[in-house]
């Protein structure tokens, strides 16, 4: 029996959710919700599902077992609590939420309901990133020494002006780090391990009428002793492909978007030639560097497939609520460091969720 999905929020990212669901043979898009009925109807007509403007009514539909949330970042918690109360499994678009307290409230609600919670960070499902993760787990880098990630993108002033919530602390939760670079923030800690401390600087240099940063740099120290940098921007014209570099005492690798630019180890393996042939340079996909619509739904599809399998087998999804919380915590630490002008130790203190 196909797994029934519903989507809360019908903006740009919801379209990628719908396309991903439609591409999965054992999944079906049952419904969509928007508090403005005309928007729900338009989306439902485009993607062949039922429109709802009453959230409780949609959540009462027994054909729906998984709900994805595509509302503005700082408005994830309230619908998430309703989904958990209704006993549905939950997938939340990045970031999980914009404060640790709101993340923790969501995690607690799903735990109490006995439902699965996933944070949508599809870069972990890129085949090139999976190959890199496997090489780290096999110890091919020796001791990890340096991990860097760069998201030097461009967003127009119209991008921020066109959405009332974009560029606000209340609903965006941050700028280039929280909204755009969070995928690579997640990747870097997935590759290198948890962060022990961070020192960051942020600024707003190329846009008007936004509260949040459009450029930032941060230095991190990982718990394993390695160092690293995280750069994020929406102020770099014309927008460059995102890049991650992993270095160790016995090897180095560089991935740009989904292509491997460097794959060099002290102890080569026969599979290295095949890896370079399959993932080597030549990918011309922009990946949203200048246009947020210029992404593929395939990463979402792979994550949704993992989530469906987790439901069916009773295991945790690859990126559960706790994993999704980590990138939010690191970004909040970068913001705190920039505000206070000092190093910030992790984990951050979190008040009890209310």
pLDDT in tens, 166-203: 999 999 999 999 999 999 999 999 999 999 999 999 99
CATH number of 3-123+298-320: 3.40.50.720
Q: Cα dihedral angle (106, 111, 112, 113), rounded to 10 degrees?
A: 90
pLDDT at 350 over 90: no
Give per-residue pLDDT as tens, 130-176: 999 999 999 999 999 999 999 999 999 999 998 778 999 999 999 99
Q: Is 299 helix (H, G, I), strand (E, B) or coil?
A: helix
Q: How many CA atoms lie within 13 A of 347 on its CB side?
A: 8
50 C-beta neighbours (distance < 10 Å), count:
18
pLDDT, residue 354, reads: 34
Residue of 121, 92, 138 whose CA lies nearest to 275? 138
CA atoms within 13 A on the CB side of 157: 5
User: If you classify domain 126-290+329-336 with CATH, what class do you get?
Assistant: alpha beta
**pLDDT attached to residue 353:** 41
Neighbours of 271 (CB within 10 A): 10
Q: Residue ranges per domain, the chain?
A: 3-123+298-320, 126-290+329-336
Distances (CA, A) of 323 to 57, 220, 319: 31, 18, 5
pTM: 0.95
């Amino acid at each position: 029996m196909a797994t029934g999905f519903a989507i809360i929020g019908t903006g740009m990212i919801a379209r990628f959710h719908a396309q991903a669901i439609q591409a999965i043979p054992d999944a079906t898009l049952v419904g969509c919700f928007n508090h403005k009925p005309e928007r729900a109807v338009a989306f439902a007509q485009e993607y062949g599902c039922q429109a709802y403007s009453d959230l409780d009514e949609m959540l009462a539909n027994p054909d729906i077992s998984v709900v994805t949330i595509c509302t503005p970042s700082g408005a994830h918690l309230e619908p998430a609590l309703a989904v958990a109360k209704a006993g549905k499994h939950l997938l939340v678009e990045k970031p999980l939420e914009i404060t640790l307290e709101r993340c923790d409230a969501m995690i607690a609600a799903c735990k109490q309901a006995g439902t699965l919670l996933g944070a949508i960070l599809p870069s972990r499902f890129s085949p090139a990133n999976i190959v890199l993760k496997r090489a780290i787990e096999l110890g091919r880098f020796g001791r990890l020494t340096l991990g860097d990630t760069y998201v030097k993108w461009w967003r127009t002033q119209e991008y921020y002006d066109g959405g009332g919530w974009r560029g606000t602390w209340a609903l965006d939760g941050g700028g280039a780090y929280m909204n755009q670079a969070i995928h690579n923030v997640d990747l870097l800690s997935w590759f290198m391990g948890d962060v022990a401390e961070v020192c960051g600087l942020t600024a707003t240099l190329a846009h008007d009428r936004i509260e949040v940063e459009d450029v930032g740099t941060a230095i991190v120290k990982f718990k394993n002793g390695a160092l690293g940098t995280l750069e994020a921007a929406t102020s770099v014209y014309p927008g460059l492909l995102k890049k991650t570099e992993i270095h160790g005492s016995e090897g180095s690798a560089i991935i740009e978007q989904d292509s491997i630019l460097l794959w060099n180890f002290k102890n080569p393996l026969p599979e290295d030639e095949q890896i370079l042939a399959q993932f080597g340079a030549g990918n011309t996909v922009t990946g949203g560097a200048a246009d947020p619509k210029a992404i593929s739904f395939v990463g979402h599809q792979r994550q949704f497939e993992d989530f469906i399998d987790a439901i069916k087998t009773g295991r945790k999804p690859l990126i559960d609520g706790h994993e999704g919380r980590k990138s939010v915590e690191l970004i909040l630490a970068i913001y705190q460091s920039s505000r206070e002008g000092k190093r910030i130790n992790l984990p951050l203190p979190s008040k009890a969720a209310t």
